[in-house]
Structure 1
Amino acid sequence: MIASSVCAQQKAGTFSITPKIGVTASNFSGDMPAIVNYVLMSQDNTEEPLRWISMSDGPVVEMGTVGFGESKNKFGFTAGVEAQYQFSKIIGLSLGVFYTQQGASYDTKGFSNTSKDGVKVAINDNLKINLNSITMPILANVYIWKGLAVKVGLQPELAVSKKTGGDVTISYQGPSISAVHSDVEGIRSFSLSVPVGVSYEYKNIVADLRYNIGVTDLRKDGDAGWGGNNSRSTSQNRTLSFTVGYKFEL
């Protein structure tokens, strides 16, 4: 039934290039906390009483960690290009390269906490883990009706930037410092996802809706790398993307 409904517009033996741009909604499965670490050093001048500084550079006054575990969707964008070879009227194989914003957001706006040692941590917006990646989807495209195709495949992902972002203010005995970005060391740079989706082509315009299901663990050391115990937790990428592109047949 599927074969009989295929439109002859998909020509066997053809090659095409499709630049695409779109939006993403991403999150993590499992437990991927957003962590704020602070180290307060003794005062060495009157202009900068508190500094972000390594513990080896001076005596530590106070240090601590604030963590948030429940994540929600973070929105971003994706842009790239896909090349496709059409083996038959039904089956095509595509390979793409995209820059994709992934990660998650955490409901931390308005959070305020003062430790027993007098360190106050205030967060003025939602913390975000910004995981910006080069994604390389390899997809089998099955055309089931005219320009309508379903697709599934494998997607290697290489994180080129891993940062926690947010407006965080830390104060101790009056003075305060603000932190905006910090690198996330506990997330792996390489991961794999399984993309599944659907696309529709009309007069060279291609609209594509895709859900990427992470299948490899992003966390390097389980809970041990996040200030927890040594039990093993896992977390994977989950990204929904919608793109629009223009198909050039070569």
Structure 2
Amino acid sequence: MKKVILSACVMLIAIAAYGQRDKGTVTLQPKVGLNVATLTNDGDADSRFAPVVGAEVEVQATDMVSFSGGLLYSMQGAKGKVGNVDGTVKLDYINVPILANVYVANGFAVKLGVQPGFLINNKVKVSQNGVNAEVDLEKAFKAAGIDAKLNKVDVSFPVGVSYEFSNINIDARYNWGLTKIIDQDNSKNSVFQITVGYKFAL
């Protein structure tokens, strides 16, 4: 009986320590995942499903708190339909998430921060009756006689949760856009993001 109790206590201690990292620990986490992206203030916009890939570095400040910074290639935008014309707005960013992570339970963290992003690609793809075309979004504005410019810098507020086991990290976060996509429109990025990564100690 004593052996059973002792073994149970050892297991509980191991489980409690599992996923925790010592103060000063630095990890590198390559990650890949999926964006479910759309634009706010556009009731006709549907979600664009597209990949996100990159890496984050995390520094453990205390047993419970860490800070992380990353570099992510994030494909965002939205989809929509006007009549029989399907359209996809493709806005691709290099995002730099800067986060505070609080480990509230074994391997489980809540996170929030700020994320500047830099627009590196903007296209609109239209499809009608099997015919496809893809053009630069600003050129499409100009051709349509619309005096509008895309903001090349985006700022968003990321908030999310993550769970880590055996160095594998599953992260789900929502990036709430704070910056207008176009200078003359109130639409902003709205992105739900889920990623899987692996942490390497540095």
1:218 equivalent among 178, 181, 195: 181
For 2:65, the equivalent position in structure 1 comes to 91
Correspondences of 1:40-189 after superposition (within 5 Å)? 70-108=44-82, 111=84, 123=85, 126-168=86-128, 180-185=133-138, 186-189=149-152
Deviation at 1:168, TM superposition (A): 4.2
**Helix, strand or coil for the counterpart of 1:187?**
coil
Deviation at 1:127, TM superposition (A): 0.5
The number of aligned residues is 175
RMSD: 1.7
Structure 1 segments (4+ residues) deviating >3 Å: none
Contact 1:154 1:193 in 2 (8 A): yes
**Helix, strand or coil for the counterpart of 1:242?**
strand
**Separation in structure 2 between the aligned mates of residue 30 and residue 188 of structure 1, nearest angstrom:** 17
Q: Could you tell me which amino acid in structure 2 is paired with residue 78 of structure 1?
A: V
- Map Cα deviations across residues 77-101 of structure 1 (whole Å, 9 max, x no partner): 0000000100001110000001011
Q: Which has the higher helix share?
A: 2
**Separation in structure 2 between the aligned mates of residue 133 and residue 155 of structure 1, nearest angstrom:** 11
1:15 aligns with 2:38: no
Deviation at 1:181, TM superposition (A): 0.9
Please say which structure displays the higher CA radius of gyration. 1
TM-score by length of 1: 0.67
Q: Could you tell me which amino acid in structure 1 is paired with residue 47 of structure 2?
A: N
Moved more, 11-20 or 186-195: 186-195
**Helix, strand or coil for the counterpart of 1:17?**
strand
Q: Percent identity?
A: 36
Give the unaligned 5+ runs of structure 2.
1-15, 139-148
For 2:146, the equivalent position in structure 1 comes to none
Q: Could you tell me which amino acid in structure 1 is paired with residue 22 of structure 2?
A: K
Contact 1:163 1:182 in 2 (8 A): yes
Deviation at 1:146, TM superposition (A): 1.0
Q: Could you tell me which amino acid in structure 1 is paired with residue 134 of structure 2?
A: H
Q: Could you tell me which amino acid in structure 1 is paired with residue 39 of structure 2?
A: F
Q: Could you tell me which amino acid in structure 2 is paired with residue 181 of structure 1?
A: E
Q: Could you tell me which amino acid in structure 2 is paired with residue 147 of structure 1?
A: G
1:191 aligns with 2:143: no
- Map Cα deviations across residues 96-155 of structure 1 (whole Å, 9 max, x no partner): 0010110000034x61xxxxxxxxxxx3xx200000111110000000001100000000
Q: Could you tell me which amino acid in structure 1 is paired with residue 94 of structure 2?
A: I
**Helix, strand or coil for the counterpart of 1:97?**
strand
**Separation in structure 2 between the aligned mates of residue 25 and residue 76 of structure 1, nearest angstrom:** 7
TM-score by length of 2: 0.82
